[in-house]
Amino acid sequence: MTTDPGSNISGAYRRLEEVFRRRALIGEAEGVLGWDTSVNMPPGGAAARAEQMATLRTMAHELVTDPQVGDLMDEAAANADQLDRWQSANLREIHRAWLHATAVPADLVAARSHAGAAAEAAWRGARADSDFKALQPFLEEVLALTREAGTAKAEMLGRPAYDALMDEYEPDADSARVVSILEDYAGFLPELLDAVLAHQAREPEPVMPTGPFPIPAQRILCRHLAETVGIDFDSARLDESLHPFSGGVPEDSRITTRYHDGGFLDSMMAVLHESGHAMYERGLPKAWRYQPVGNARGMVMHESQSLLIEMQICRSPEFFEWAAPVAGQAFAAEGPAWTAANLYRLATRVEPSLIRVEADEVTYPAHIILRTRLERAMIAGDLAVADLPGAWGDGMVELLGIRPPDDRLGCLQDIHWPDGAFGYFPTYSLGAMAAAQLAAAARTADALIMPSVAKGDFAPLMAWLRPNVHNKASLISTDELLIEATGKPLGADAFKDHLRQRYLMT
């Protein structure tokens, strides 16, 4: 990651690297505080934490928007022929980050941070009480500030406001293409769902293991599963939070899940999902650790890595061949409910449900389609926050034929909008589609991957993912990465084929 110290580009480019190294370290500190907010912080700490987070975000913003950064980029660009491939890509990603930062004034950055912290705290209470009106004024403030930022970024990037907001999570995202892919699936879903439910009805009913499933035993099981995927707990933690997530830094992964003693599959699958995120972060190139080009290539690729582990690999017959006796031993249980075939049928059971994070992979995209429709309408000013619960219920009926009985099971279930993350949701289903492409390519490239998983060995899978996904970081675009790894740009075909094979052919 060095350049010729005697070249003109060296001084400018190296100074840019130092600016963005400091920015990355501030971001890491912010991430650890965010983890602490969700895992450890007492409710009374919310106001102080909001000040801390706003200060860190403002500091990072001021680093990037310093007038000298623009001058350094101009100088570096004038001597771009002296940069190697990674340095050129890094300069491109620096410019993208600079555009986003300079579009938004520092006071708006701080205001968004404060509003998000207040809304997140309000959301926790509102969700517990199923009281949307308790969240409404906070969410209205977050939305107003997000729209303001989206308008500013749209002017800077020369793109529609929603596209500019999506670009924060998926570089170069095109909402027209994204909506086309998602709405195509919305048209595909009814016939597929009918066929899957009919096929499922012809099969024997899976046997539900009887609980309770003690939470201490679940913790031990989940830790073992994460270790099996590849997490080293000398440099990782597994904790509990209201909403499962993965954070921290590559040398200090922070994974969370949530438990209830009436079932164990949800906590187990959440840990496998978050372990996929953590393994991606741990596989990014160390030489570019503190530079934009060394970051994960957007949330589509990030979600592809979590969903590849959770959905493609760990909801397979091969995985349960290994995992079923491990789970049975964890709970000192045996019998028909604990066979690999039965647990596989439970883990792939399809049934329209109200909660996104507990949805099966056939109906999960419907949850994303709904949220994408609603957030686009809110950003455009076509849907008022006050009308969100009703629009949510109507959308669930249209897509899945069910209506939430209360707001807790409806529009209060996700933390994303209170946190200001508008434009994030589409990456979940786009990630599922990328995961299907990558999994198919990996299995074709190495026939030992699935037999190894059946023995609890994820090493062959990781050996394929490291060079084809993880090590590339943000060197190339999402489509370029997928073309190199799978032969095709992002699309829904592999995902549809996967669903037909798993749910109609077996």
Residue-wise pLDDT tens digits, 117-162: 999 999 999 999 999 999 999 999 999 999 999 999 999 999 999 9
Q: 188 CB contacts (<8 Å, ≥6 apart)?
A: 492, 496
Q: Please report, rounded to a whole number, the percentage of residues in the chain having pLDDT higher than 90.
A: 95
* CATH number of the structural domain 177-504: 1.10.1370.30
Q: What is the DSSP letter of 284?
A: S
Average confidence (pLDDT) over 386-408: 97
* Residues 212/218/220/223 CA torsion (nearest 10 deg): 170
Q: What is the pLDDT of residue 4?
A: 43
Per residue in 94-127, pLDDT tens?
999 999 999 999 999 999 999 999 999 999 999 9
Average confidence (pLDDT) over 364-368: 98
Do 175 and 166 touch, CB atoms closer than 8 A? yes
Residue 467, pLDDT > 80, answer yes
Please give the radius of gyration of the chain, using alpha carbons only, rounded to the nearest integer: 23
DSSP line for 75-105: HHHHTGGG--HHHHHHHHHHHHHHHHHHHS-
Opening angle at CA 370, ends 368 and 371, nearest 5: 65
Per residue in 250-274, pLDDT tens?
999 999 999 999 999 999 999 999 9
Banded model confidence at residue 18, pLDDT cuts 50, 70, 90: very high
Amino acid at 416: H
Banded model confidence at residue 357, pLDDT cuts 50, 70, 90: confident
Q: What is the DSSP letter of 3?
A: -
Rounded distance, CA 386 to CA 168, Å? 26
**Beta-strand relationship, 252-257 and 246-249:** antiparallel
Rounded distance, CA 63 to CA 60, Å? 5
Residue 373, pLDDT > 80, answer yes
251 is annotated as an active-site residue: no
- Domain spans of the chain, in order of start: 8-157, 177-504
Annotated catalytic residue within 17, 168, 274, 303: 274
Rounded distance, CA 116 to CA 299, Å? 20
Question: Three-state SS for 349?
Answer: coil
* C-alpha distance from residue 433 to each of 40, 291, 352 (Å): 35, 28, 20
Do 203 and 225 touch, CB atoms closer than 8 A? no
Q: Which of 319, 302, 347, 311 is nearest to 465 (CA)?
A: 302
Residue 169, pLDDT > 50, answer yes
Q: What is the pLDDT of residue 156?
A: 95
Whole-model pTM: value is: 0.93
Tokens 């990030």 belong to residue? 302
Rounded distance, CA 228 to CA 225, Å? 5
Per residue in 415-447, pLDDT tens?
999 999 999 999 999 999 999 999 999 999 999
Do 59 and 73 touch, CB atoms closer than 8 A? no
Helices (H), 296-355: 298-307, 317-330, 340-347
Do 430 and 178 touch, CB atoms closer than 8 A? yes
* Average pLDDT along the chain: 95
Average confidence (pLDDT) over 279-302: 97
The secondary structure element, H or E, covering residue 470 is none
Q: What is the pLDDT of residue 6?
A: 40
Residue 476, pLDDT > 90, answer yes
Q: What is the pLDDT of residue 211?
A: 86
Sign of the dihedral defined by the CA atoms of residues 285, 420, 120, 432, in that order: negative
Average confidence (pLDDT) over 65-74: 95
Q: What is the pLDDT of residue 506?
A: 76
Q: What is the pLDDT of residue 421?
A: 96
Q: What is the pLDDT of residue 42?
A: 94
Q: 165 CB contacts (<8 Å, ≥6 apart)?
A: 146, 149, 150, 153, 379, 422, 423
* C-alpha distance from residue 419 to each of 138, 152, 249 (Å): 10, 19, 21
Do 50 and 263 touch, CB atoms closer than 8 A? no
Banded model confidence at residue 72, pLDDT cuts 50, 70, 90: very high
Q: What is the pLDDT of residue 2?
A: 42
Q: What is the pLDDT of residue 9?
A: 61
